[in-house]
Structure 1
């Protein structure tokens, strides 16, 4: 945080960011590849420019449309307000809750290898956690029907991170903040998006393998998908170069919050740093079944209608296992969204993984802070999906 800003404004901005920290991750219809061409690159760029220039809009945006071997990159605005540098495909960025898809990739890879079962319970794999949580299964954690209270909503957690946003948490004890709380509902009885779920998923993966989660990411996700610029740090520093993320507290100018928070505060739920190029490779492989077999894919795609990611993705949303179904007017894509201080993300692909869209903007856009801007963002994302699927969408 720039030292020239008044202390009261710094604290007010930190509190606003903390309130939204890491909130928010069968046979679906497959889009035809022979349909009428969708919006042209000039049309897409015009839409992205309009989003950036909307009052309160993000300073920068980058979208990558991958269609088999053909890649289209559309950018608007800047990656850094201080220098005016344009966004690039290899710029690092916080992917926020898209990190939940990475924890899903680890867990489902272990299910595919029979090291974990979807019906494994917290009581069996994580007996140190509260007895009241023992019946929660891995499946319920992955599709957010567990009922676990969200540790990022806990007053003590918020107090710590507001006082010191760079505080390094021990990720293995993040759930301790809500260990004295009962489940919100009977496991499996309803949908409730919770950052606690994917912390427990990562802890389960560590428990059955005896391997740190960061190493499991390298072995089960980064290496097979050839991700070269993706990591799960503990601290707040961003690898260079990076897309700078900004927060707004009018009438003050946008404030750079790229390095406001320690990634340890969200860990497996939202701490991963990646690039548009790597995120494209990830979502194509993850959705396309490169990391686990068809039996696990079928289990992953058992959808809960109306259950949205955070923020909601384009079209009608349904939840699977660390994956969401976005049914747009042009067809279906599968993926995950995310938002954190300075960033809002969408990564999605066609069910066969052959076509993908990553869509990144450099401010946090949520339904609670700016519902009109989120509605516009989702509309632009849907137009990009139509372009990806080769459909006009009228």
Structure 2
């Protein structure tokens, strides 16, 4: 759809983006409804997806991909585009939101393995041009969101520019300039606070020590090894065809298509990647399963601190290095969540990577804009995790 011309219409889109950037906190497990065994797990899970599309503010479409070994089950409800009957397919493109942060982890941790970076390397050592007040922040603290780095995406000037032109092309490598005059919001390493600035700094570190563009590092270290053929990090607002359309769903207004409302340049390594459910499945199996990094680096990655992904994932959340641990009533999975105007994402896999879940909604759901729906979503996600972990 055309970009809304009225600032009054544009403003809700920016509010949605700002909500996606709020800091995550530790959440207690959602109250999970037990899947009725007498209806069979397939029918029960399908019914829960359908119910999500009929909830107030719910998504026009949802897709979940369960993969156990070589067996894949695809559940979907609603449509890929309102006004049509086209179902969402596993090869439809979408914005993967903050699950993109896991990809920056995949790049940086491989560089740790190769001796290009160390987890204790500081911003001052690798990126000395950045403000001196940030120089003691380490790569480890950036990856587990304990850096205290101020969040550029909450900055008043950044939001002002985005409000004026949501499709504005930002210089992705200068996004931290918006908060360059701000000190860390707390002593680095002293506590957890989710920040989009963290993964911008991670990508800049990767570029600094390799002399390669972050986009090239993604292709070389992530896309090719995991055979991700429909994954990219664009700069503009366009999505490749075919794609699942993302919507602002704010009753009583009809769903508003915001798929191409905002330029990816303003989120870059913190949330700008475009992918498909099929590619996301392949990524999380390799990444959460530890296939890209050494056992030594993996042990460092899995040192958990109290903190939730944004939005919170199923069960109780803890944060590792660009990876979250979700302790559900049925067992543990590793993964990441994300939300962006038009989309909400969860990717998760068992620690061995043999079982995985990719769960995508075509509207933004988080604790700020739709707290009740988020709790319902977390319940459904936990039921899918239980189905994933259930013995055949």
TM-score by length of 1: 0.93
Unpaired segments ≥5 residues, structure 2: 25-36
Unpaired segments ≥5 residues, structure 1: 26-35
| In 2: Cα distance, 1:66 partner to 1:249 partner | 33
Q: CA deviation at 1:45?
A: 0.4
Q: CA deviation at 1:287?
A: 1.1
Q: CA deviation at 1:248?
A: 2.4
The 3-state SS of whatever aligns with 2:72 is: strand
| In 1: Cα distance, 2:196 partner to 2:235 partner | 17
Aligned pairs for 1:1-394 (under 5 A) are: 1-2=1-2, 7=6, 9-23=8-22, 40-305=41-306, 307-390=307-390
The 3-state SS of whatever aligns with 2:66 is: strand
| In 2: Cα distance, 1:281 partner to 1:24 partner | 28
| In 2: Cα distance, 1:254 partner to 1:76 partner | 16
Q: Which moved more, 1:15-24 or 1:253-262?
A: 15-24
Are the aligned partners of 1:18 and 1:158 in contact in 2 as well (CA < 8 Å)? no
Are the aligned partners of 2:232 and 2:274 in contact in 1 as well (CA < 8 Å)? yes
| In 2: Cα distance, 1:39 partner to 1:371 partner | 29
| In 1: Cα distance, 2:46 partner to 2:248 partner | 23
Q: CA deviation at 1:224?
A: 0.2
Q: CA deviation at 1:17?
A: 2.4
| In 2: Cα distance, 1:202 partner to 1:253 partner | 38
Are the aligned partners of 1:23 and 1:195 in contact in 2 as well (CA < 8 Å)? no
Q: Which moved more, 1:11-20 or 1:338-347?
A: 11-20
| In 2: Cα distance, 1:378 partner to 1:353 partner | 21
What is the root-mean-square deviation in Å for CA atoms of aligned residues? 1.8
| In 2: Cα distance, 1:352 partner to 1:38 partner | 30
Change (3 A) 1:223 1:119: same
TM-score by length of 2: 0.94
Aligned residue-pair number:
380
| In 1: Cα distance, 2:216 partner to 2:23 partner | 25
